[in-house]
Structure 1
Amino acid sequence: MLKNDHWINEQAALGMLQPFQSGLIRHLDPENASTPVLSYGCSSYGYDLRLSPKEFLIFRHVPGTIMNPKRFNPANLEPTSLHEDEDGCYFILPSHSYGLGVALEKIKLPSYITAICLGKSTYARLGIIVNTTPAEASWEGHLTLEFSNSSGADCRIYANEGICQLLFFEGDPCDITYANRTGKYQHQSEQVTLAKV
């Protein structure tokens, strides 16, 4: 069953999401519509996570290099600078490239909930694809988020604003949670976690 805003607010009070915004924020100043943000916070059936400003990495094109998930080479990634202007703080994801960021909110899922992370339509309309990422029962930490820029133009990716939506699904109790099996991506910090085997 997909969980609603009432349940999300109840669980957030118990520590499921920190920091937590109980309503959907669309303007930094509600009195001034000229300061829009990419929405974040609790919606009807989900929670829009924000992108942390702490780190954003992009894959470099290294001719002749073949990526290997069993022997991930961090030298294939390079940090990108955080920029700021009147529209906010942002990273630049170059055209036809791939980047890694991290959610600002820390998540601590109950043992009967799995969350799915989906992209926001505002970014999708620009050609930015957020990889569908699951967080299994009892997973805890800051999600590392994966972005693909499928367009022919560079794109701003705003920090401290909505970047993706979490949907929470309740299932029958499982025998072994992600925490029980000491999953390799458990307890991620607010920094990008690289591929592990």
Structure 2
Amino acid sequence: MLKSDTWIKEQANAGMIQPFVADLVRRVSNPQGEWQRVLSFGLSSAGYDIRLSDREFKVFRRIPGAPPINPKRFDSRVLEDMPLMTGEDGQYFILPANSLALAHSVESFAMPDDVVGVTTCKSTYIRSGVNIPITILEPGWKGVLTLEIANPTPCDVIVFPNEGIAQVLFFTTDSVPEVTYATRKEGPGKYQSQAQKIVLPMV
């Protein structure tokens, strides 16, 4: 069952989402004390809009002569750090045309054992050509969410940190799973307890 804002607020106050914003924020005060529109973040009717961190934003780049990317032996040299820039609409990163970036959320999560989270892209970004593939927050998982942000268009796109980047929907399972992400036989899942940084592929 998809969970409502009332349930999300109760669970967030118990530690499921940190930091937690109990309202949907659409405007913030800039350094000059003026109100500025932002891509909304915080609690919505049946989901939570998470923010993009300003700490890291890495874009895949082709290395001449390099072999194909191997998920089992990932070479981080294919990732280029993009600079944090400032313009009239605030701080931003550039997501180049036909590229994929890795980043992470401001928020950390501690998923209850009977709850699954599903990320969806914000409509404002998807209408600007930016897509965020679905990521599953499994029962028992905790940590900061690594995000994949795709720009399949022929145009560069501006992406704003510390503003909304994706929405997480929360669903309860019909019972507590026999095995959660935290209680797997071989130990917790490999992406358990992700810190405030991009976590690269692991096998």
TM-score clears 0.5: yes
Aligned counterpart, 2:194: 188
2:101–2:149 Cα contact (<8 Å) kept:
yes
Instruction: Supply the distance in 2 between the matched residues of 1:35 and 1:137 (Cα, whole angstroms).
Output: 37
Point out where structure 2 has 5 or more consecutive residues left out of the alignment.
none
Amino acid in the other structure paired with 1:193: V
The answer as to 2:46 corresponding to 1:45 is yes
CA distance in 2, matches of 1:33, 1:23: 20
Q: Does 1:36 align with 2:37?
A: yes
The Cα of 1:33 is off from its aligned counterpart by 8.9
Partner AA of 1:185 in structure 2? Y
The aligned amino acid for 1:175 is E
Kindly state the Cα deviation for residue 86 of structure 1 after the two structures are TM-superposed: 2.7
How much does 1:78 deviate? Answer: 1.3
Correspondences of 1:9-158 after superposition (within 5 Å): 9-29=9-29, 35-64=36-65, 65-158=67-160
The worse-fitting range, judged by mean Cα deviation, of 156-165 and 82-91 is: 82-91
Does the CA-based 8 Å contact 2:28-2:35 persist in structure 1? no
Is the Cα–Cα contact under 8 Å of residues 59 and 98 in structure 1 kept in the other structure?
yes
Identity of aligned residues (%): 46
Q: What letter matches 2:169 in structure 1?
A: L
Q: Distance in 1 between matches of 2:194 and 2:126?
A: 26
Native 8 Å contact 1:101 1:146 kept in 2:
yes
CA contact (8 A) 1:126 1:151 kept: no
TM-score when normalising by structure 2: 0.93
The reply on whether 1:178 has 2:181 as its aligned counterpart is yes
| Further displaced range: 73-82 or 62-71 | 62-71
3-state SS of 2:131 partner: strand
Moved over 4 A (4+): none
Normalising by structure 1, we get a TM-score of: 0.96
SS in structure 2 of the partner of residue 89 of structure 1: strand
RMSD: 1.3
- 1:127 aligned counterpart, secondary structure: coil
- 8 Å CA contact 1:27–1:33 kept in 2: the answer is no
